[in-house]
A and B are shown apart, each in its own frame.
Chain A
Amino acid sequence: MNKQDRILHLATLTGFYLLESGGETYRVEDTICRILQNYGMKEVSAFTSPTVIISSCMDDERSYSKVLRVNRSKANLQRIDLLNQLSRDSDKLSVDEFEARLQHIIQQPTYPAWIEIACAGIIALGFTLFFGGKVWDALAAFVIGCFVYALHGVLVKHALNPFVKVAIQSFVIAFLAMVGYKYHIVMDYNLVIISTIMLLVPGLAITNAIKDFLSGDLVSGTTRGFEAFLIAIFVALGSGMALTIWLRLGGRL
């Protein structure tokens, strides 16, 4: 690979990891262009939608271009921060150093699984208190939250459609809450369900949609906004299904 191709590849790869970890559209485009310019390329330009990155640049002889397909993975704000910093430092780094640092950032560990599961429980617990629930309900929400996040880990391995995944989780939440209600563990099932459902709310998609609209990226903004809307629908669908089955089985609301 000659030098220009390598620079374009590295810049686009940085954008790829940014977008994958949940970066905004303008940030991805800016980052790619900044890196390319810092390494002396001309006529740099990049286009990003939530699923694809197209970038191109020129040197004195010819133009280069690259397309990368992106599949969203887990949100990782720490990685976005580090990559952002890397792109700003790129004028002081050689191409080799840049690549080494990029590799280093990619290999940074995330929190271990048990901490994430416990935190999912803490989120549910915190929301129950925030919405004015009793301590007992908060503890029930903690258990359900932990269980659902662990379930999420299992569902991810089966490569399900993200919307179906959310619907299944929300179904399990409502179902567990109703079972708890029946055996008098849960006092206010509405509150417990709402608090735990907040785990599934597409916070990053909403925030990114807003920010994309703010910076004029209408394609990404619309896509992400619609994604958030669909996820909300599927969350309602899942818990609604559980409650309907509950009613049909003769339970009371």
Chain B
Amino acid sequence: MIVRILGSLLAALGFGVLFNLKQHKLIYACLGGGIGALVHEFTMYLGLSSVLSLLIASMVITMYSEIMARKLKTPVTSFMVVALILLVPGGGMYYTMLEVILNRTDNAIIIGVDTLAKAGALALGTFVSTTIRKLLFFRGHQ
């Protein structure tokens, strides 16, 4: 578990550098990735479905990004991209392709729909968090 969180931090750090974030913003973005991964792991551990735990993780990530963006006076995207990219269902995409190659179309459809649901959960989490923030604070874009 600790190794996995460490792995997510490393991956977030790498993406932060590839997106050219500098100094303390890089650290906070990286931390956001770690928090997202931690929430995802924890909710999975509690026995929630993977789609639901992705939804919760993406809500937490968006909240974290909005708060940090306010504090550091930086666009929200800086933190959100780095943290969200860790949870993108690349594995599902790959396994869908694998099943297609192996001529197991029924499996491919099952995994494919599951992957789409996960991607949708990520988007929905962001929607929910941002909407809550807008309703509570009546503020426009940051």
Chain A interface residues toward B at CB < 8 A: 22-24, 26-27, 30, 74-81, 84-85, 110-111, 115-116, 119-123, 125-132, 138, 190, 193-194, 197-198, 201, 203-204, 206-208, 210-211, 213-215, 232, 235-237, 239-240, 243-244, 247, 253
Chain B interface residues toward A at CB < 8 A: 3-4, 6-15, 17-22, 25, 37, 73-78, 80-82, 84-86, 88, 90-91, 93-98, 100-102, 119, 122-123, 126-127, 130, 141
Given contacts A110-B20, A190-B94, is CB(A80)–CB(B101) below 8 Å? no
Contact A132 B4 (CB under 8 A): yes
Contact B77 A130 (CB under 8 A): no
The main secondary structure of chain B at its interface with chain A is helix
* Across-interface contacts of A211 in B (CB, < 8 A): 76-77, 126
Shortest beta-carbon contacts, A-B, top 7: A129-B7, A126-B10, A203-B85, A126-B11, A123-B14, A130-B7, A236-B97
* Across-interface contacts of A207 in B (CB, < 8 A): 77, 80-81, 84-85, 126
Closest Cβ neighbor of B80 among chain A residues: A207
Closest Cβ neighbor of B102 among chain A residues: A253
* Sample (22) of A-B pairs whose CB atoms are under 8 Å apart: A23-B77, A75-B81, A76-B19, A76-B20, A77-B21, A77-B81, A81-B75, A119-B13, A122-B11, A127-B7, A198-B11, A201-B88, A203-B85, A206-B122, A207-B81, A208-B77, A210-B123, A210-B126, A214-B130, A236-B93, A239-B97, A240-B97
* Across-interface contacts of B22 in A (CB, < 8 A): 78
Contact A123 B18 (CB under 8 A): yes
Contact A126 B9 (CB under 8 A): yes
Closest Cβ neighbor of B21 among chain A residues: A77
* Across-interface contacts of A210 in B (CB, < 8 A): 122-123, 126-127
| Bound Cα distance from A78 to B93, whole angstroms | 30
Contact of A240 among B21, B82, B101, B126 (CB under 8 A): B101
